[in-house]
Chains A and B, each alone.
Chain A
Amino acid sequence: MLANPGDVKLQRALIALSAPAVVAALYLALIWAPDERTLGTVQRIFYIHVGSAWNAYLAFFAVFAASVAYLTRRRALLDAVAASAAEIGILFTTLTLATGIFWARAVWNVWWTWDPRLTTTLIMWFMYVAYLLVRAAADGEERRGRLSAVFGIAAFATVPLVHFSATWWRGMHPNIIEIQGPTPRIAMDPEMIVTMITAMVALTIVSGGLFAFRLGLERLMRQADRLKERIRLEVGE
């Protein structure tokens, strides 16, 4: 499995694209979008917050899908995809938690509260840190792939249950998008919706770029391991 030169092009393209996308998203979020009526300017953190949360869920779904595919197809690439996506997911979960904490301090006047979404996000963070621990503690490429895939599936399957239990436990997180009736209702100004979607797209490009970069790195690491193994065999210690 060689690091494929297409990867490098893709990485460069995504990183080149992410700079203007982020600048555009920041312009819309910080300057163009109107002030929120009651929350004021602090509400602008919301755009980064939602974009990060979306990317965290996307990455963890990728871990789940790649894990299922790895167990059935046993391709090393699928394991590398899961490993890279898990790290990206943890990064964006951390960003979601961090932006949420600042927002909560300004709006709820506390740094943290045990709301369902906060609780779910925190538990999710712990789950995927545990996923990385499984990867770090497993010897051998095959065993690491297999055990982490099993854990990745079990963790993702539990996220909805964690969310429901946290909802029945306590709830105060605002629900901006409500799905009632045939069309979802978004309780926001149209300009805010445009900004939110732009921020989501921009952060998705960033996360795609980071993911391509991380995946390339993972493949290089495995290639280096194989080369070391070959040298060891040829030199015969």
Chain B
Amino acid sequence: MSYGRAVAAIIRKDFQLEWRTGEALLTPVLLSLLLMLVFVFALPPSALRSSDMFVAGLWTAVFFSGTVGLSRGFGRERPDGRLLGLLLAPVDRGAVFLAKALVSFLFMAISASATIPAFFAVFGQSPGAPVWRWAAVVGLVLLAYSGSGTLLGAVAAQLRAGEVLYPVLLFPLLVPVVLAAVHLTDALLVEGGWGSAGVWMNMLVVYNILFWGVPYLVFEYVVEV
């Protein structure tokens, strides 16, 4: 089986499973909307119109709800020795990582396209920048998140109570992504572009190279059987 076909087959399998269960796509959307409600209840009404609160609430919800979907990525392969089956397939282990990370990215992108408009509506903000700029920022943030999240998801899937540990393992590594996300969206809202926050764009690119490159290289050791 060629490399590309192996990646496509795993992606197709996960989408099919998701279509039938809805656990990695629906749950994060619901959780982020609930987190939005918590945020709204926790804030005084006057703060709801501020762009700072919008940025804080949006990324808190995206990052926290993301762990639910991401931990399912390899959690899904846990019962019945499915991971073993996947690894017995005669394909490069890197292809397994690539496919799993892409699935996580696509799931998060779909969830985000449902929750971000809801945040705009509730916090009464207007995008302030063209949609493609928003898509570029959110896309790079979610790519960075899914790269490191998939690596740690594969680690956590092999630990006792891995799902509980997962966010504790992941968030310290995500700090640069959170900071970049907050600064870039702030710049989008205020300046309509990432002009003054360009350095954060570079940070996201470097983070992406690191967290798609390193797992790709060490993945063989992560899922050894």
* Chain A interfacial positions (CB closer than 8 Å to B): 71, 119, 123, 126-127, 130, 133-134, 137-139, 143, 146-147, 149-151, 153-155, 157-158, 161-162, 164-166, 168-169
Contacts and interface: CB of A to CB of B under 8 A. Distances in A.
Given A137-B162, A157-B210, A161-B207, A130 B221 contact: no
Contact of A139 (B160, B183, B218, B222): B160
Contacts of A158: 172-173, 175-176, 210
B203 A165 contact: yes
B58 to A, nearest CB: 18
Contacts of B215: 154
A161 B205 CA distance: 11
A153 to B, nearest CB: 7
Interface string B151-168: 110010011111001001
B181 to A, nearest CB: 11
Contact of A150 (B168, B175, B199, B221): B221
B155 A134 contact: yes
A143 B199 CA distance: 39
A151 to B, nearest CB: 6
Interface of B: 148, 151-152, 155, 158-162, 165, 168-169, 171-173, 175-176, 179-180, 183, 199-200, 203, 206-207, 210-211, 214-215, 218, 221-222, 224
Given A138-B159, A157-B214, A161-B210, A146 B221 contact: yes
28 contacts: A123-B172, A123-B175, A126-B172, A127-B173, A130-B165, A130-B169, A134-B165, A137-B161, A137-B165, A138-B159, A143-B158, A147-B155, A147-B159, A149-B221, A151-B169, A154-B152, A154-B173, A154-B211, A154-B214, A154-B215, A157-B210, A157-B214, A158-B173, A158-B176, A165-B180, A166-B179, A169-B179, A169-B183
A130 B155 CA distance: 12
Nearest to B159: A137
B172 A161 contact: no
B163 to A, nearest CB: 11
Contacts of A151: 152, 155, 169
A133 B180 CA distance: 27
Nearest to B197: A168
Contacts of B200: 165, 168
Contacts of A139: 160
Most buried by A among B169, B210, B224: B169
Contact of A147 (B158, B172, B210, B214): B158
Contacts of B203: 161, 164-165, 168
Contacts of B148: 154
A151 B166 CA distance: 12
A140 to B, nearest CB: 10
Nearest to B222: A150
A165 B179 CA distance: 7
Nearest to B215: A154
Contacts of B176: 158, 161-162, 164-165
A127 B168 CA distance: 9
Contacts of B152: 151, 154
